[in-house]
Chains A and B, each alone.
Chain A
Amino acid sequence: MEADSGVEEPTSAPVPMNRAPLFLLYLNVLVIATCGLIYELLAGTLASYVLGDSVTQFSLVIGVYLSALGVGAWLSGFITRGLARCFIEVELGVALIGGASAPLLFLTFALADWFAPMLYGIVFAIGTLVGLELPLLMRILKSHLDFNDLVARVLAFDYIGALVASILFPLLLVPRLGLVRTSLVFGLLNAAVALWGTWLLRPLLSERGLGGLRGRSILVAGLLVVGLIKADSLTHFAEEQLFTNPVVHAETTHYQRIVVTQSTESFQLFLNGNLQFNSADEYRYHEALVHPPMLSAERHERVLVLGGGDGLGVREVLRYPSVKAVTLVDIDPAMTELSAKFPPLAELNGGSLSDPRVTVVNDDAMLWLERSESLFDVVLIDFPDPNTFSLGKLYTTRFYRLLRRRLTDQAVVSLQCTSPLVAPKSYWCILKTLESAGFYVRPYHASVPSFGDWGFALATIQPRPIPRTIPDELAASLRFLDNEALPALFAMSRDLAPVEVEINRLDNQALVRYYEAEWDRWN
């Protein structure tokens, strides 16, 4: 703070302020208060988003912020000269740090390992500056207004500001603007208060340095505007949409970003921002993935699950008492660990990954298949959609040929193959690729509200009839499939008819390109 730099005005003898309607002054207070709380909410949301565990993150952020407010208020006592200038400087500081806080924190998270120190550093800095704001303003206004009246009104507007912020934030700001733009917009508001202050408090400011003060206010506003323009590219982030529900777990692993969100009735798993399941309707998806091949296969002693680290497919597999061994191959140890230990997930999958019959292997499925020497009766393929080249390779003729070598003659394979309605080329590309690798393939689908009309395929080395009946013992434990729903899975309506496609090979990755084009159209 430049409390003593070329500021001459006395603090004792009141100098008249520029005449301004009182409501404008209170508006000032309202804006300041709203901004302050918004930054706090931003920091809390961002922290629980990237660090997970929102309860801890919010209470830590609030704690640090409140204590910083106290520090600010205490520090304000040491400022004896140049109150007006100090106030404007503080405003500029809040504008800059608060305004840039969300983009800065995203950037730190993306580029550096010291996110937490940065987060609390920023929260503390904003808190301290905001803590300085009101005491300074009150002392400036003190000589112009009745003190009792002043305190009452300023505090009232302060609380109104907090209310405004807490209503705006979840209802309007996050859904409409997103975190980054919210932070920049409120930074701009602070900058506007500073700039306006140079007129409002003009009589309290010395001539010297006034131009500089205004120049800097405009510079800060300009920087934030530039940020706003650039921030457009940030708002594409699918991740920001995650905030529709609070994040209960989040981690960035070597392979992907894992986020679990929780709503009142259900919870959701996202990998790289793509929904993997919603606990409310995942049973439809997993029953459709698992039971057709299990019921179609003559034997299901040895079952292989590729992908599917959530353990939900394995849960369905374990309903069959004849299953002797399940091998689950998922690239990400953090994912399988989470499924085994994170209470809501472990509960949902019935502790399937801890079952003694289940062996978890953490490896790239393709590299594992190249090395593996076991044979399997049933294989379930539950990879994420082919939206990267490293996932695309898991849908190639090469992959399916490697898989074939690991199957008994009577084996049955099922796989999830994205939506045949949204992405018909992708869907049929997967099926055609399976066919060209020597499989007999049956298309089928199920409606999963969280995903829409979802596609699967049943693949066998020998032609086999589709399964039609569910044994009674099993039927009792299912929520979706019964003797009517099971054969109905295999009815493909006219709008799901096959389309002309290329075969997906390692050297053309046709599928990733179809997928990208088709889903782009819908997003």
Chain B
Amino acid sequence: MELSRRTLLAGALAAPFAGLAGCDARSSPPIRGTIIGPNRTVGHRLRDGWRPMVPDGAWEEVDVVIVGGGVAGLAAARELRQQGCERFVVLELELEVGGTSRAGSVGGFGCPWGAHYLPLPQAHQTDLIEFLKEIGVVTHVAADGTPSVPEEALCRDPEERLWVDGRWMEGLYPFTGASDDDRRQWDEFLHEMAKWAAFRDDDGHPAFAIPSRLCSADERVLELDRLSFADWLDGLGYTSLRLRWVADYCCRDDYGLPASSVSAWAGVFYFASRWNGSEAQPLLTWPEGNGFLVRKLGEPLADRLRCGWAVASIVPTGGSGPCEVTAVDVASDAAHGWRAKRIIFAAPQFLAPYLIAGFRNDARRMEAAGQFTYGSWLVANVALRDRPRETGFPLAWDNVPYESNSLGYVVATHQLGRDFGPTVLTWYEPWHGDDARKVRRELEELSWNEGAARVLADLTRMHPDIEPLIESIDLMKWGHAMISPVVGFREGAARSIAAESWQGILFANTDLSGLALFEEAFDHGQRAAREVIEQLAASQDRRG
């Protein structure tokens, strides 16, 4: 590949004369940055028992209150509107909707703060395809249901590269230096995953599908939920360190946990659910990541979104009357109330005991909610004045360091086709450990200085000259970032119990699937909205 000659020179010379590169001490302005969020103060006050009072006259009557304006809440709202239900509001704690899929803007470039891609849906994902068509991403749907998208919606090639042995190589599997045995195991592994992708149970259901409610409940499939992905790989004799690194990377990438913590079901799901005959589905991505989809979901709903309103309590009335929802304006602490026939709880399950009155008294629900565990993530948006030098394969969309705690970075200007000059790198690091709470506390206590130093150290490994190019490093500390698909969670009862509606409250967050994915959140939101419409219609019928 042609690279700029400075790069070439630097690359080739840096090896024999590595020591000298360090003399390049340029003075540069200090790196700026802040911790962006998420908003934790309201949550902590509520956890500590704060209960704001709604003044008389500050009550509103609606049909539905949607708690949480993440993808699930927005998908629910979209569905309600499409079904002709107009009397609803979406209450969102943050100043903008999107939850873990929201985007930011740094140095004039849109960039993701969390979710950043969506695999192209398969023909059977009709609802999602319909939405993508609505917003102009899908331009055509073939007779067999296969969607087509213009090439600029797909991730621009080169998609990914790996930093290994001091240089970049294309792809994610570290082929350089791989032994024959490594390659054989890798081929066998891909073969095994293709087998699972093709698996159909006696009723014709696939082993793995998206949304995951379509997955087979066949014993041969559920078996995978009873051991960790790492143990499963051990059992099949996959010992290649390279293969194990890739497997581990993929689990950390999608679930924020290593292969030793996630179930084999989740591990295989990653590889087999988005398989399309012979290869993985191509990826859809946008400069600002899935923030694009959030914007497209949110824009037509703007009149129904209440951002900066933290739900403080939900008081169900046992089906006899409307539920009462209290929320506070995070800016002024002013409280406001909504009386609604139904609630769609699209916030994560772990919040249910804090927000829903009486929930704690339901031992069965509490037990189920207790099974929901979440991993933490540190995400950084790093604004660069200019591009660093490259060694080896040129800049890709996803840039991954081999054997690092971080997952590397995606490049906000990649989809824009802007290949020179300033850019923003979105850097990801899942935080995990034996004790998720302890890890979460450590992340919470991380100062900007410590966080920025961490990001800088990791980036410097891949780009020794990057520091003077960095304008700012902003940090997002996601405490409850993603549901953890640990061993037994998929098959266990907790998920299905948590998904049952409770005294007029329907649940919709992606965590109900045990997988944090756009498709799952979208599906749950839509499902909950459809149930609400049915229930409201039924009660109308009864009355009428």
Contact = CB atoms under 8 A, between A and B. Distances in A.
A383 B37 CA distance: 45
Nearest to A388: B2
A390 B3 CA distance: 11
B154 interface: yes
A302 interface: no
Nearest to B464: A111
Interface residues of B, number: 39
B301 interface: no
A506 B397 CA distance: 12
Contact of B157 (A256, A389, A516): A389
B161 to A, nearest CB: 11
Contacts of A257: 4-6
Contacts of A272: 2, 4-5
Interface in A349-383: 364, 366-367
Contacts of B420: 254-255, 331, 364, 390
Interface stretch (B16-24, B435-443, B517-525): B16-24
A110 B155 CA distance: 32
Interface stretch (B7-15, B47-55, B367-375): B7-15
B419 interface: yes
Of the candidates A254, A257, A389, the one having the most CB atoms from chain B within 10 angstroms of its own CB is A389
B158 A509 contact: yes
Contacts of B154: 506-507
Given A112-B23, A234-B12, A366 B158 contact: no
B44 interface: no
B384 to A, nearest CB: 13
Contacts of A254: 386, 420-421
A255 B420 CA distance: 7
Interface in A490-523: 505-509, 512, 516
A104 interface: yes
Q: Which of B6, B15, B16 has the most CB of A within 10 A?
A: B16
Interface in A423-475: none
A109 B13 CA distance: 11
Contacts of B61: none
Given A103-B16, A364-B419, A389 B158 contact: yes
B237 to A, nearest CB: 34
Contacts of B542: none
Contact of A226 (B14, B16, B151, B417): B16
Interface core residue of B2, B9, B24, B421 (most chain A CB under 10 Å) = B2
Interface in A380-408: 387-390, 393, 396-398
A274 to B, nearest CB: 8
A487 interface: no
Contacts of B177: none
A167 interface: no
- Chief secondary structure at chain B's binding surface: loop
B5 A273 contact: yes
A247 to B, nearest CB: 13
Contact of B9 (A109, A226, A364, A389): A109
Interface string B431-473: 0000000000000000000000000000000000100000000
A111 B12 contact: no
B120 to A, nearest CB: 10
Interface string A218-231: 00000000110011
Contact of B8 (A237, A396, A398): A237
A109 B6 contact: yes
A509 B419 contact: no
Interface in B390-424: 394, 416-421
B468 to A, nearest CB: 11
A300 B420 CA distance: 33
B26 interface: yes
A397 B14 CA distance: 38
Interface in A67-125: 103-104, 106-107, 109-113
B544 interface: no
B1 interface: yes
A397 B2 CA distance: 22
A233 interface: yes
Interface in B56-115: none
B282 interface: yes
Interface in A188-223: none
B394 A388 contact: yes
B188 interface: no
B157 A230 contact: no
B17 A256 contact: no
A336 B499 CA distance: 64
B151 A397 contact: yes
A516 B13 CA distance: 23
Contacts of B277: none
Interface in B472-501: none
Nearest to B8: A237
Contact of A505 (B10, B20, B151, B421): B151
A257 B4 CA distance: 7
A367 B5 contact: no
Contacts of A227: 16
B15 A366 contact: no
A507 B394 contact: no
A107 B4 contact: no
Nearest to A370: B417
Nearest to B20: A107
Nearest to B150: A398
A207 B151 CA distance: 77
B156 interface: yes
A386 to B, nearest CB: 10
Interface string A265-293: 00000001110000000000000000000
Given A107-B9, A109-B6, A110-B6, 16 more contacts: A103-B13, A107-B10, A107-B21, A234-B12, A237-B9, A252-B4, A252-B5, A252-B6, A254-B421, A255-B420, A272-B4, A364-B417, A390-B419, A396-B151, A505-B151, A506-B157
30 contacts: A107-B13, A110-B8, A110-B9, A111-B13, A227-B16, A231-B16, A234-B13, A237-B12, A239-B5, A254-B420, A254-B421, A257-B4, A257-B5, A367-B416, A367-B417, A367-B418, A387-B1, A388-B3, A390-B420, A393-B419, A396-B151, A398-B151, A505-B157, A506-B154, A506-B157, A506-B417, A507-B282, A509-B156, A512-B1, A516-B1
